[in-house]
A and B are shown apart, each in its own frame.
Chain A
Amino acid sequence: DIQLTQSPSFLSASIGDRVTITCRASQGISTYLAWYQQNPGKAPKLLIYGASTLQRGVPSRFSGSGSGTQFTLTISSLQPEDFATYYCQQLNSYPITFGHGTRLDIK
């Protein structure tokens, strides 16, 4: 199985901050990586697919980059609704796997 390691696991930041979350894959996955946002009690929401393509309706302050084994999710200017947990997911090979999440809290 391909392991996805997210860092950091926890992140405290303020409104307006720029934050970056990293996802490292245990082997190359080209750009078959997606990012999700999840709020408590809700299903995950797709933010980015193909490592860098913004899902329709997702604000442009979200961006993704990377290929191979190193990927990043960046939020350019944090808004109150962005405080949530973020997950990466690889769809390059079976089984599809997820990272363990990064919880983003307000400072």
Chain B
Amino acid sequence: QVQLQESGPGLVRPSETLTLTCTVSGDIISYYLSWVRQSAGRGLEWIGRIHTTGGVHSNPSLTSRVWMSVDTSKNQFSLRLTSVTDADTAVYYCARDSQGFDYWGQGALVTVSS
């Protein structure tokens, strides 16, 4: 059984960097891991994906601010989003990325506020 769990600060100040970790148990080696966020105003928005071999693709709307990494020894994936604003307030999910996103974390609410 595959399980994913997001962790990180729930509150980030404007202009600072949002950092989240996705810890995976189960089979992730052959798959991409995608990050998705959801807010009332923007619906579901794909942030990007990273493979355990290091291949990365990100949403062009966020590329300049997004950085993704993987630590295979810990089965952990990280997301960093720099220079955050109110518009980055959302629930952030990580998901195993196959022919669809078949396993998801429970989501982490991140609020951008001073």
Contacts and interface: CB of A to CB of B under 8 A. Distances in A.
A95 B46 contact: yes
A43 B46 contact: no
Interface string B80-98: 0000000000000101001
Contact of A44 (B44, B45, B57, B61): B44
Interface residues of B, number: 22
Given A43-B93, A87-B44, A50 B104 contact: no
Interface stretch (A14-22, A66-74, A76-84, A96-104): A96-104
21 contacts: A34-B99, A36-B101, A43-B93, A43-B106, A46-B100, A55-B102, A87-B43, A89-B44, A89-B100, A89-B101, A91-B99, A94-B57, A95-B58, A95-B60, A96-B49, A96-B59, A97-B46, A98-B44, A98-B46, A101-B43, A101-B44
A44 B94 CA distance: 11
